[in-house]
């Protein structure tokens, strides 16, 4: 049997798209999954507290969750993953569109029929001896205008408990599936059955997974199939697989956007309120930005989302955004009382920590949590650790999973049905050189150009070479479910529809380094100084210098009071280095060259203008 439960898309120019609809389709899919994966039992998840308690107790007994000290970390647990299952696996993530061209040059494409066959073989018997949980969930508040329903089947109780935090999971989501309601099917197995083909029992481990991993998406039929991993975006299928890869395809067809963006509401000392959406690549500071504690008086930041935004043009012509998630799956290392006290408060309780270190008192620790490490710890792999060990105590991609409503700065309307109207869009990345602290796009096309040309030094959020510079357009390189160049065209089209209501667009870089490799900009709470300039730009209260790469603040435009910054450092952050940018423009030309024939003409023109303007810029 192959996992082709739904009518396959028709080949040819008018592909049939859309997922399954209704309860009957759900029940027959669950039956098919049972026949295929052969679990011992099926549990329909209702989302109740009793259910959470029961699954938690089972996991603690199995050694898969370690309870933390009830005083220090109430209701919280530590999970240690398999050391080979610690981050997203981009080279094992596939877009199985009917036509290869629809996946575009930046995605791994697989023929859908061939992938169905492979998945059918892998999933066959994969859940033997385990429980298959059926997990209904809503992305976005139930009943919201662009909320979407999904159902994940999984043999991982860790995924169930995490999805309970990250989404609106359970009976209400199931009840929302009416006779004709579309829902996204997401099939997941860790790929480690407890019964061999010959019937012999196989041993279980605290973190089951498989050396072979496959994260597959079928955009036309809105299906997700994930095999072999229990970690993060590989396994919490509601998150990247659904809310970004599949949702981006839906959004393109239906005229909205699914983006890798945080959302925040900012109130200025004058009492004016603005909403900001910001795209940064993985582990580049979205959570910290969304929870920013302003270092300047009078400012207030309220958190709406830290990772994913769904945005749509509203009836008033403006761009409205929701956070489709209900929790944070945040990077632990680098998060501490000085850098992000709001995140620290959010994870005070009811949190699942994964791959952090354990203190002798039963609390958690990671690099950056306190200035000095404790004298002894148990590291993320369960081994004794001291500061002399010479290796990180926490995995660099260790994460906390906490409910959004535990965040002390959560906005009172973070879960309103319609979302919030966006005033400014910010693009960022990790750039040791070239990209200035902040610049503003001249217009929407220039803003799309900024988004399309984000480059960033790679982080531990994905398997791969950490520190290597790569283009990560719109911070969506690993998350766009269709051709990236079509994504840019879609952005240009949305801008056309928004017209004069379009948000203004900015680019920031907190990660500029000096010759000794130290960060030039203090970052974190001081990023409010950049938001201050952005808000004054929105309010037409401050000027800017025109440059080939956008509008730049002049030194006196920025509030730098009280910062210990040398003149050279300020100049580095605020001025354009023509030589650096001429080579940047060459890299952009190569980057655009990958999309041959499909690059939107306005972006090609924008690049030529950049090259022309830089040619005689001294």
Q: Beta-carbon neighbour count of residue 268 at 10 Å?
A: 17
154 interface partner picked from ligand GTP, Mn ion, ligand SPV, none, CB below 5 to 8 A per type: none
Q: Tell me: does residue 243 bind ligand GTP (CB under 6 A).
A: no
Which residue is closest to ligand GTP by CB? 334
Q: Tell me: does residue 420 bind ligand SPV (CB under 6 A).
A: no
Q: Which of 96, 284, 407, 480 is catalytic?
A: 284
Pairing of strands 93-95, 108-109: parallel
Q: Tell me: does residue 232 bind ligand GTP (CB under 6 A).
A: no
Annotation marks residue 241 as catalytic: no
Among 88, 222, 312, 507, binds ligand SPV (CB under 6 A): 88
Residue carrying structure tokens 């099926």: 42
Signed CA dihedral, 43, 47, 48, 53: sign only: positive
With a CB cutoff of 8 Å and minimum separation 6, the contacts of 305 are 261, 262, 263, 290, 322, 323, 324, 325, 404, 414
210 interface partner picked from ligand GTP, Mn ion, ligand SPV, none, CB below 5 to 8 A per type: none
Select 45 or 139, whichever has its Cβ closest to Mn ion.
139
313 interface partner picked from Mn ion, ligand SPV, ligand GTP, none, CB below 5 to 8 A per type: none
Helix axes 22-37, 112-123, angle to 10 degrees: 60
Phi, psi of 43 (to 5 degrees): -125, 120
CB 423 within 8 A of CB 504: yes
Question: Which parts of 434-511 fold into alpha helices (H)?
Answer: 444-452, 484-498
617 interface partner picked from ligand SPV, Mn ion, ligand GTP, none, CB below 5 to 8 A per type: none
Select 240 or 369, whichever has its Cβ closest to ligand SPV.
240
Q: Tell me: does residue 284 bind ligand SPV (CB under 6 A).
A: no
Q: Which stretch binds ligand SPV (CB under 6 A): 231-239, 262-270, 495-503, 556-564?
A: 231-239
Shortest distance (Å) from residue 543 CB to ligand GTP: 25
Signed CA dihedral, 193, 195, 198, 201: sign only: positive
Shortest distance (Å) from residue 36 CB to ligand GTP: 32
Helix axes 578-593, 601-615, angle to 10 degrees: 160
Q: Tell me: does residue 82 bind ligand GTP (CB under 6 A).
A: no
CB 440 within 8 A of CB 554: no
Among 98, 306, 557, 584, binds ligand GTP (CB under 6 A): 306
Shortest distance (Å) from residue 479 CB to Mn ion: 8
User: Contact residues for Mn ion (CB under 5 A)?
Assistant: 282, 307
232 interface partner picked from ligand SPV, Mn ion, ligand GTP, none, CB below 5 to 8 A per type: ligand SPV
Considering only residues 164 to 223 of the shown chain, the ones binding ligand GTP according to CB under 6 A are none
The number of helix segments (H) and strand segments (E) in the chain equals 16, 32
In degrees, rounded to 5, the angle at the alpha carbon of residue 429 between the alpha carbons of residues 425 and 435 is 95
Among 331, 393, 424, 485, binds ligand GTP (CB under 6 A): 331
Q: Give the C-alpha distances (Å, rounded to integers) separating 545 from 317, 438, 542, 550, 614.
A: 30, 12, 10, 8, 15
Q: Tell me: does residue 307 bind ligand GTP (CB under 6 A).
A: yes
Select 244 or 538, whichever has its Cβ closest to ligand GTP.
244
Select 314 or 522, whichever has its Cβ closest to ligand GTP.
522
Compute the half-sphere exposure of residue 541: CA atoms within 13 Å on the CB side of its CA: 10
420 interface partner picked from ligand GTP, ligand SPV, Mn ion, none, CB below 5 to 8 A per type: none
Shortest distance (Å) from residue 232 CB to ligand SPV: 3
Shortest distance (Å) from residue 98 CB to ligand SPV: 26
Shortest distance (Å) from residue 201 CB to ligand GTP: 38
Select 240 or 529, whichever has its Cβ closest to ligand SPV.
240
User: Which residues are 66's β-sheet partners?
Assistant: 78
Q: Give the C-alpha distances (Å, rounded to integers) separating 435 from 306, 337, 558, 601.
A: 23, 28, 17, 24
Q: Which stretch binds ligand SPV (CB under 6 A): 20-28, 121-129, 232-240, 415-423?
A: 232-240
Q: Beta-carbon neighbour count of residue 472 at 10 Å?
A: 25
Shortest distance (Å) from residue 307 CB to Mn ion: 4
Among 378, 434, 527, 547, binds ligand GTP (CB under 6 A): 527
Among 225, 280, 380, 595, binds ligand GTP (CB under 6 A): 280
Q: Tell me: does residue 333 bind ligand SPV (CB under 6 A).
A: no
Among 74, 317, 519, 562, binds ligand GTP (CB under 6 A): 519
User: Which residues are 149's β-sheet partners?
Assistant: 138, 183
> Is 372 buried (19+), middle (13-18) or exposed (0-12) by CB count in 10 A?
exposed
280 interface partner picked from ligand GTP, Mn ion, ligand SPV, none, CB below 5 to 8 A per type: ligand GTP
Helix axes 484-498, 601-615, angle to 10 degrees: 90
**Where would I find the beta strands (DSSP E) of 319-393?**
319-322, 327-331, 352-354, 357-358, 364-365, 377-378, 384-385
Q: Tell me: does residue 240 bind ligand SPV (CB under 6 A).
A: yes
Considering only residues 448 to 487 of the shown chain, the ones binding ligand GTP according to CB under 6 A are 461
Among 290, 461, 502, 573, binds ligand SPV (CB under 6 A): 461
CB 108 within 8 A of CB 94: yes
Select 153 or 290, whichever has its Cβ closest to ligand GTP.
290
523 interface partner picked from ligand GTP, ligand SPV, Mn ion, none, CB below 5 to 8 A per type: ligand GTP
Helix axes 157-166, 49-61, angle to 10 degrees: 140
User: Which residues are 25's β-sheet partners?
Assistant: none
Among 233, 428, 451, 503, binds ligand SPV (CB under 6 A): 233
User: Residue 144 has what DSSP assignment?
Assistant: -
Name which of 11, 431, 15, 401 is nearest 222 in CA terms. 15
* Residues contributing to the site for ligand GTP (CB under 6 A): 280, 282-288, 306-307, 330-331, 333-334, 339, 461, 510-511, 519, 523-524, 527
Q: Which residues are catalytic?
A: 284
* Residues contributing to the site for ligand SPV (CB under 6 A): 88, 232-233, 239-240, 282, 307, 329, 461
């Amino acid at each position: 049997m192959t996992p082709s439960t739904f009518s396959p898309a028709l080949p040819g120019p008018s592909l049939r798209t859309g997922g399954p609809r209704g309860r009957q389709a759900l029940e027959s899919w669950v039956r098919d999954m049972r026949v295929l994966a052969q679990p011992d039992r099926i549990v329909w998840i209702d989302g109740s507290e009793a259910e959470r308690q029961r699954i938690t107790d089972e996991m603690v007994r199995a050694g898969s969750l370690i309870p933390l000290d009830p005083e220090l970390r109430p209701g919280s647990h530590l999970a240690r993953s398999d050391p080979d299952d610690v981050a997203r696996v981009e080279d094992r993530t596939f877009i199985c569109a009917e036509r290869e061209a629809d996946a575009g040059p930046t995605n791994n494409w697989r023929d859908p029929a061939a992938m169905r066959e492979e998945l059918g073989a892998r999933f066959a018997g994969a859940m033997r001896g385990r429980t298959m949980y059926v997990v209904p969930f809503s992305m976005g508040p139930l009943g919201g205008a662009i909320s979407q329903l999904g159902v994940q089947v999984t043999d991982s109780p860790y995924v169930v408990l995490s999805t309970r935090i990250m989404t609106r999971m359970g009976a209400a989501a199931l009840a929302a599936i009416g006779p004709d309601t579309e829902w996204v099917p997401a099939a997941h197995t860790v790929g480690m059955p407890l019964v061999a083909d010959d019937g012999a029992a196989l041993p279980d481990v605290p973190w089951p997974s498989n050396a072979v991993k496959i994260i597959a998406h079928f955009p036309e039929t809105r299906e997700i199939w994930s095999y072999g991993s229990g970690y993060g975006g590989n396994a919490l299928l509601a998150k990247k697989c659904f809310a970004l890869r599949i949702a981006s395809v839906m959004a393109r067809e239906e005229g909205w956007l699914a983006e890798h963006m945080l959302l925040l509401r900012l109130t200025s000392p004058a009492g004016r309120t603005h909403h900001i959406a910001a795209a940064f690549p993985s582990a580049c500071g979205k959570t910290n930005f969304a929870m920013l504690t302003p270092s300047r008086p009078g400012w207030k930041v309220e958190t709406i989302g830290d990772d994913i935004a769904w945005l749509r043009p509203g009836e008033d012509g403006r761009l409205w955004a929701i956070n489709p998630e209900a929790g944070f799956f945040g990077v632990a290392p680098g998060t501490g009382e000085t850098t992000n006290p709001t995140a620290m408060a959010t994870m005070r309780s009811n949190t699942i920590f994964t791959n952090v270190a354990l203190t002798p008192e039963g609390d958690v620790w990671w690099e950056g949590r306190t200035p000095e490490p404790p004298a002894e710890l148990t590291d993320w792999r369960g081994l004794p650790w001291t500061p002399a060990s010479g290796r990180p105590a926490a995995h660099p991609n260790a994460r906390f999973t906490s409910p959004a409503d535990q965040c002390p700065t959560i906005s009172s309307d973070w879960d309103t049905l319609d979302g919030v109207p966006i005033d400014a869009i910010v693009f960022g990345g990790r750039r040791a050189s070239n990209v200035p602290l902040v610049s503003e796009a001249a217009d929407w096309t220039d803003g799309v150009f900024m988004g399309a040309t984000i480059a960033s030094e790679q982080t531990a959020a994905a398997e791969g070479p950490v520190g290597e510079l790569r283009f990560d357009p719109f911070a969506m390189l690993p998350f766009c479910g269709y051709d990236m160049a079509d994504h840019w065209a879609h952005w240009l089209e949305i801008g056309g529809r928004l017209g004069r209501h379009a948000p203004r667009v900015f680019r920031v870089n907190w990660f500029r380094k000096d010759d000794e490799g130290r960060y030039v900009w203090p970052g974190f709470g001081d990023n409010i100084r950049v938001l201050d300039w952005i808000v004054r730009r929105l309010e037409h209260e401050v000027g800017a210098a025109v440059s080939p790469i956008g509008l730049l603040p002049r030194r006196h435009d920025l509030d730098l009071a009280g910062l210990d910054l040398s003149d050279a450092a300020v100049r580095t952050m605020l001025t354009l280095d023509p030589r650096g940018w001429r080579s940047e423009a060459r890299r952009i030309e190569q980057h655009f060259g990958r999309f041959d024939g499909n690059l939107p003409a306005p972006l090609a023109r924008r690049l030529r203008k950049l090259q022309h303007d830089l040619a005689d810029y001294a």
